[in-house]
Structure formats: C-alpha cells, structure tokens
Amino acid sequence: MDAVHRFEGTVNQFLGDGFMALFGAPLSYEDHARRAILAAFTIRKAIAPDLQFQASDIRLRTRIGLNSGAVVVGRIGDNLRMGYTAIGDTTNVAVRIQGLAEPGTILVSDAGVRTTAEYVEYQPIGLRVLKGKSEPIVLHRAVRERAHRFRSAGGMDVVLVGRQAEIQIIHRSLEQLQAGDGCVLAVLGEAGLGKSRLLDASVRRARECGLPGQRTRARG
C-alpha cells in the first residue's frame, strides 16, 4: 500500500489475499496509467522472489493485473457501512487479467499499454480469453521501466500540435527571464490535454536558452 500511496493512488478495496487500487480517481491525473505501472514495479521489487517468512517454508509471491478505462466511482453502502469504490467493466477486466498473471509478473491490457508504451518496455503474450468475455483480448507483460523522453520512434522530438500560442507565450517569458525579469506561468487544463508535454517542451526550450530548466511533477 505504501507503493500505491507513493504514486498518489487509492487503495479502495481488499479482496481476500489481494487488494484493488485506483489511479486517477478520486483525484484526476493525466498520467494515471503511468502511476499505476510504476506502483506495480515498486511492489514487485519490494516483494522479491526469494522473500520468505522467518522460520517457515511460506514464500510470498505476487501477481498484478492492470487495465485502463472509464469507471463509475462514488460512495456505496448504507448507514452502517459506507465505502468509496469503482464499478464497471474496466475493474472487472483488471481482476480477470490479474487472475491470468503468473506469480511475480505484471500483466497489462492493450488500453494500459497504449498510454504507457513510451515509459515501459512490454512483451506481448498474445490473445487471452477472459472469464465472462466472448472476445479474446491482447495482453502484455511489463518488463522494465524505460528512461522517459518524449521521443518518436524515429528519435525525433514529438511535435506539439495546436499549441503554437502557448509555445509563443513560453518563449517570450523565457526571453524576459534572460533579460533579468522574472515571471510565473500557470498551466491549467483538464486531465489528458497535454500539460506534461507542454511542461517538457518548456524545460527543453529553457535549456536551449542556457537557463537551468528543471522538470518537476505536474499535478492533474
């Protein structure tokens, strides 16, 4: 649970010998899928394959399933017990994926891979039929984290589309900073609009101008 909280996820339900964690709810983050996979890597590293309870033959092994998509979230229950949870097909699929994972592995759906492929190296394992589903889905095994850069497959910088006005404002502000006048820019927008990419473009431009650009975490 410490790993989940480290990446600002929420442990919302305990399921026998496991638990379900949410990323992007109740707090919205544009990089919720990346937070989830990083938490999964942290959990796997903490629970090493050779971890063994003292003076026993019991070994603790984990398997993790991740899925990304729309859910309905809110408080459910009555006056005696009230809990915050997520319901919908997205969570059902995540549970089914976890059930197919081998001990010590992390399995991710296509939906999760699409938004995290530039951060994580995956190994496709092919089509799998999940319980309660008529059509098979493609699953991927998470191998390791990649060094993060906004780069295309050909090694070129990713082009920011439709952000010319914002880029011009940033460039003028950096020129003002070089002249000795400080300023503060606030980037506001809904999750998924590309604030993090705009921030990286700003840092890259600052370094090109000889300024000490530094990447910090962008909140949703």
pLDDT tens for 161-190 read 667 788 888 888 888 888 888 878 888 877
Is the confidence at residue 105, as pLDDT, over 60?
Answer: yes
pLDDT of residue 52: 60
Q: What pLDDT score does 27 carry?
A: 75
Domains for the chain: give ranges and CATH numbers: 2-145 (3.30.70.1230), 150-220 (no CATH)
pLDDT of 123 reads: 93
| Confidence class for position 56, pLDDT limits 50, 70, 90 | low
- Predicted local distance difference test score (pLDDT) of residue 39: 93
Contacts of 19 (CB under 8 A, 6+ apart): 1, 11, 13
In the numeric block, the tokens 């404002």 are attached to 169
pLDDT averaged over every residue in the chain: 80
SS3 93: helix
Q: What mean pLDDT is predicted for residues 133-158?
A: 68
With bands split at pLDDT 50, 70 and 90, how would you rate the model's confidence at 49?
A: low
How much is the pTM? 0.63
Q: Which pLDDT does position 198 carry in this prediction?
A: 80
What are the two backbone dihedrals, phi and then psi, of residue 168, each rounded to the nearest 5 degrees?
A: -65, -40
